[in-house]
Amino acid sequence: MHSYSSRIEGFHKQAPDDRLRLVAERTHLDAGSAAHFADTGNLPLETANRMIENVIGTMSIPVGVATNMIVDGRDLFVPMATEESSVVAAVCNAAKQARSGGGFVTSTTGSLMIAQIQLLDVSDPETARIKILERRDDIKAICDAKDPVLLKFGGGFHDLEVRIVDGARGPMVITHIIVDTRDAMGANAVNTMAEALAPSIAEWTGGRTLLRILSNLADRRLARARCTWKAEDIGGTAVRDGMVEAFQFADADPYRATTHNKGIMNGVTAVVLATGNDTRAVESGAHAYAARSGRYRSLSRWEVTKDGDLSGVLEMPLAVGLIGGATKVHPTAQACLKIMEIDSADRLARIVVSVGLAQNFAALRVLATTGVQKGHMSLHAQNIAIMAGAAGEEIDAVAKKLVARGTVRIDIAEEELKTLRG
């Protein structure tokens, strides 16, 4: 362990290569690792340096393309950015089995985001609530004045809600401004409006405003997908029934639901990331929505149709945009949008929710039949082979041996690599 001070005066003002040099010096980083950071691949260093603070380099994540997807009658390739093996393959498989049924049908509730303003120190919260609601026209004017560009694109203030929430130190009056953010995810847009509005709320009510920030529980911005898989396409009625039983387990038990929803997010997050959108915003919204009944449940629902086929539906908040954040800035995100020929945030949300449903189908199917480990074997074996030191053609050779032996373990991989190298 090298002991060093992590305090560097003015570090944030340095150029990325100077920062890297400073960090490398203090940590005694080897030249190879330092050179590795300096290679920023398909994200120019100047761009990266403007996206976040204290940049020293970039990190590449594989982008795979899901095939076979039909969303609202249109075939498309879906780029997915993920570090996890089997995620892309799972979508391809699920989408392939859905093709004879016509693929995925989607809908959305529009692009409404919520920002909250916290009001404290009011002795008469019920009256304060009504006073705020009376000011709807003023509130609309204050909000819309902050974003004429958004207005030009058909967005802006949409609705007003005021709730009384019991806090540990008494009631708080919480104003929700509901704003149509069109093709933007909208965090900055609504935060700006909430900050502009807060002083007026304090003045009208005589209270004290504190937080002014969007809610990631974007339950006015839901995306929905439904899809029917023909029983004969998925291995018959026993597989179908097993999948419904697997869903029922997830819906009844939070321990299972967490993993079930994680599977959905494997697909959702991969498309959200590939398009430069905020993965944490979508993830926090999804999990909060899954718990909206007071118990954490499955985001998807599965049932048998009257024709004996399997029907799956997924409904979740999906705050994604084509503008703002990294979406416009990251060249890979722009290229991914081009592959999908996306012209609206609404269409992107529809594709994302469809991928989430496809991912969920694939996970339920494999869990209700062979179990996950069998399918993971081959890619997992390749990773283990690399960990054991295999390079180039050795990777496949060692991985095949591991799969054939039915034991994917680092010590076995090392043994096989030794044998291979004679």
List active site positions: 84, 262, 278, 376
Nearest 5°: the CA angle 171, 172, 178 is 140
Query: To which residue do tokens 């697909």 refer?
Result: 267
C-alpha 40: how far from chain center: 24
Nearest-angstrom CA–CA distance, 44 and 123: 55
Among 37, 101, 147, 296, binds ligand NAD (CB under 6 A): 147
**Interface pattern 295-324 for ligand NAD (x via CB under 6 A):** --------------------------x-xx
Which ranges of 85-174 would DSSP assign to H, the alpha helix? 87-98, 125-134, 136-145, 148-152
Locate 89 and state its tokens.
Answer: 């393959």
Instruction: Pick between residue 313 and residue 329 the one whose CB is nearest to ligand NAD.
Output: 329
**Residue of this chain nearest to ligand NAD (CB atom):** 324
Least Cβ distance, residue 280 to ligand NAD (angstroms): 7
3-state DSSP assignment of residue 43: coil
Asked if residue 183 binds ligand NAD (CB under 6 A), the reply is: yes
CB of 328 to ligand NAD, least distance (A): 8
Residues 9-68 that bind ligand NAD (CB under 6 A): none
Note whether 189 binds ligand NAD by CB under 6 A. yes
**CA 174, 175, 179, 184 torsion: positive or negative?**
negative
Site membership for ligand NAD, residue 156 (CB under 6 A): no
Contact between 202 and ligand NAD per CB under 6 A: no
Give every strand in the sheet of 300-304, ordered side by side: 105-108, 222-229, 310-317, 300-304
CA–CA distance, 191 with 321 (Å, rounded to integer)? 16
CA distances from 293 to 112, 244, 288, 296 (A): 21, 21, 10, 7
Amino acid letter for position 52: I
Phi, psi of 160 (to 5 degrees): -135, 140
Q: How far is the CB of 129 from ligand NAD (least distance, A)?
A: 25
Q: Helices 345-368 and 87-98: crossing angle, nearest 10°?
A: 90
Q: Are strands 208-215 and 74-81 parallel, antiparallel or unpaired?
A: unpaired
Does position 186 interact with ligand NAD (CB under 6 A)? The reply is yes
Q: Is 145 in the site for ligand NAD (CB under 6 A)?
A: no
Residue ranges in 327-386 that form contacts with ligand NAD under rule CB under 6 A: none
Number of residues in contact with ligand NAD, rule: CB under 6 A? 23
Site stretch for ligand NAD (CB under 6 A), options 39-47, 76-84, 88-96, 178-186: 178-186
Q: Which is nearer to ligand NAD, 329 or 377 (CB)?
A: 329
What DSSP character marks residue 60? -
Farthest CA pair distance, the chain? 84
E strand intervals along 90-221: 105-108, 112-120, 156-167, 170-180, 208-215
Quick one: which of 64, 171, 325, 356 contacts ligand NAD (CB under 6 A)? 325
Q: Does residue 278 belong to the site contacting ligand NAD (CB under 6 A)?
A: yes
Given 214, 231, 351, 367, the residue binding ligand NAD (CB under 6 A): 214
- For residue 184, state whether it binds ligand NAD (rule: CB under 6 A): yes
* Residue span binding ligand NAD (CB under 6 A) among the ranges 21-29, 34-42, 119-127, 142-150: 142-150
Residue 276 in contact with ligand NAD, rule: CB under 6 A: no
Residues engaged in binding ligand NAD (CB under 6 A): 147, 149-150, 153, 155, 181-189, 191, 214, 216, 278, 281, 321, 323-325
